[in-house]
């Protein structure tokens, strides 16, 4: 019945009632004052803020932090002399820089906002990265852990850890100029140690040693048999290890790579043989795409010449049966580059494994 009355009793159907209602002046449903109020952002100090970032740790340079607070205190007093608010870090505007960060200070009572301060020492290159980021990668190169394990350790201490991509980018820049030189120094030290061992053993010529050579590939060389006419591997690491101690330390290493680190296309420049015309000498591809990746003759020859540069010659050479490393050593001796004729030894266990694997493929 109530719904029926609402439908039937329409006040706007009567002309007199309609004119009476329209004669009233319009009114604001929610009148407000003429003053425009600007909302003031409430800021909680770091002690009372419940966000997890305020309870975490940061890696800062001490004198950079002192410089930030002193400048901010002085500037806040000059701009707001009557304000007694406390300054705190505005973590919403924090900029992460690897292990370090850039911070901005704000007042919990007034609208003061400081400049952004870098709490780390900078390196004068490009974007001016933190010196701490570079130093950490130098230390990582001397330890058996990687950046992922280091991030776990840092996060376990409730500290801010750099992103994995940031660590990798910085490692690529730092280690390219450091690790290569460090590895060369380490290999040179091992070669001197081997010569000293031969001398202490009373060997007539301590500079002649016995070595074993072999190569590794990113894809097995036999994996393309019957599938494709192309080579399956694009990267190889050819190593030369001493064979006079039980440690079998690596004395020379030869790394070859066909892949470009900056481009994904397989277009080959006909003039330079590189993947792209714009690739420079810093490109990760150090051999031509048409070069045979299994050319152990060339890789072994370069390793033997590397040993010769440190006054070491190959006296006994141990390889697998299908290797041409002995032919490279013999050719260097016949050319007069080396003065010691090498003696070749085969690893028969390796020969057995290769023949059985070939039988399975056939």
Domain definitions of the chain by residue range:
43-120, 207-258+293-361
Q: What is the spatial distance between Cα 72 and Cα 84, in angstroms, rounded to a whole number?
A: 14
pLDDT higher than threshold 70 for residue 256: yes
Residue 210: per-residue pLDDT? 93
Three-class secondary structure assignment of the chain: CHHHHHHHCCHHHCHHHHHHHHCCCCCCCCCCCCCCCCCCCCCCCCCCCCCHHHHCECCCCHHHHHHHHHHHHHHHHHHCCCCCCCEEECHHHCEEECCEEEEEEEECCCCCEEEEEECCCECCCCCCCEHHHHHHHHHHCCCCCCHHHHHHHHHHCCECCCCHHHHHHHHHHHHHHHHHHHHHHHHHHHHHHHHHHHHHCCCCCCCEEEEEEEEEECCCHHHHCCCCCCCCCCEEEEEEEECCCCCCCEEEEEEEECCCCCCCCCCCCCCCCCCCCCCCCCCCCCCCCCCCCCCHHHHHHHHHHHHHHCCCEEEEEEECCCCCHHHHHHHHHHHCCCCCCCEEEECHHHHHHHHHHHHHHC
- Mean local confidence (pLDDT), 99-118: 87
Residue 11: per-residue pLDDT? 56
pTM metric for this prediction = 0.56
Contact 333, 342 (CB under 8 A): yes
Q: What is the pLDDT of residues 4-46, one digit of tens each?
A: 555 556 555 566 666 666 555 556 666 666 555 555 555 554 4
Place of tokens 């002690």: 47
- What tokens were used for 172? 């690529």
Q: Residue 357 — very low, low, confident or very high, per pLDDT cuts 50/70/90?
A: very low
Q: What is the spatial distance between Cα 307 and Cα 207, in angstroms, rounded to a whole number?
A: 10
Sheet with 343-346, strands from edge to edge, namely 250-257, 235-242, 208-217, 313-319, 343-346
Place of tokens 């050593």: 329
Q: What is the spatial distance between Cα 263 and Cα 260, in angstroms, rounded to a whole number?
A: 6
173: number of Cβ within 10 Å? 15
Contact 354, 362 (CB under 8 A): no
Q: What are phi and psi of 48, to 5 degrees?
A: -95, -10
Q: What is the pLDDT of residues 218-240, one digit of tens each?
A: 887 776 666 666 777 888 999 99
Q: What is the spatial distance between Cα 31 and Cα 311, in angstroms, rounded to a whole number?
A: 96
Q: Which CATH architecture has domain 207-258+293-361?
A: 2-Layer Sandwich (3.30)
Share of the chain above pLDDT 70, in %: 70
Q: What is the pLDDT of residues 143-159, one digit of tens each?
A: 888 888 888 888 887 77
């Amino acid at each position: 019945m109530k719904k029926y009355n609402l439908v039937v009793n329409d006040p706007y159907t009567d002309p007199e009632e309609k004119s009476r209602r329209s004669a009233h002046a319009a009114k604001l449903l929610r009148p407000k004052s003429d003053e425009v109020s600007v909302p003031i952002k409430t800021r909680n100090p770091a002690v009372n803020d419940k966000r997890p970032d305020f309870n975490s740790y940061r890696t800062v340079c001490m004198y950079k932090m002192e410089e930030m607070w002193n400048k901010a205190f002085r500037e806040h007093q000059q701009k707001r002399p009557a304000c007694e608010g406390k300054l705190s870090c505005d973590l919403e505007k924090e900029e992460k820089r690897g292990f370090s960060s850039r911070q901005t200070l704000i007042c919990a009572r007034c609208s003061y906002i400081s400049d952004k301060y870098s709490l780390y020492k900078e390196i004068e290159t490009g974007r001016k990265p933190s010196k701490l980021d570079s130093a950490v990668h130098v230390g990582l190169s001397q330890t058996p852990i990687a950046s992922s394990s280091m991030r776990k350790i840092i996060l376990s201490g409730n500290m801010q850890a750099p992103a994995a991509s940031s660590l990798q980018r910085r490692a690529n820049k730092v280690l390219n100029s450091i690790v290569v030189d460090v590895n060369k120094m380490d290999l040179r030290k091992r070669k001197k140690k081997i010569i000293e061992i031969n001398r202490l053993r009373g060997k007539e010529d301590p500079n002649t040693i016995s070595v074993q050579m072999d190569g590794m590939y990113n894809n097995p060389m036999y994996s393309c048999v019957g599938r494709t006419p192309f080579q399956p591997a694009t990267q190889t690491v050819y190593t030369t290890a001493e064979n006079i101690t039980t440690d079998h330390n690596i004395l020379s290493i030869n790394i070859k790579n066909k892949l470009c680190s900056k481009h994904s296309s397989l277009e080959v420049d006909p003039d330079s043989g590189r993947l792209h015309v714009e690739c420079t000498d810093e490109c990760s591809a150090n051999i031509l795409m048409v070069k045979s990746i299994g050319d152990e003759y060339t890789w072994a020859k370069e390793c033997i010449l590397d040993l010769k540069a440190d006054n070491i010659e190959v006296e006994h050479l141990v390889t697998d049966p299908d290797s041409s490393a002995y032919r490279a050593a013999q050719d260097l001796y016949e050319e007069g580059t080396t003065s010691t004729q090498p003696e070749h030894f085969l690893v028969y266990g390796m020969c057995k494994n290769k023949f059985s694997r070939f039988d399975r493929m056939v």
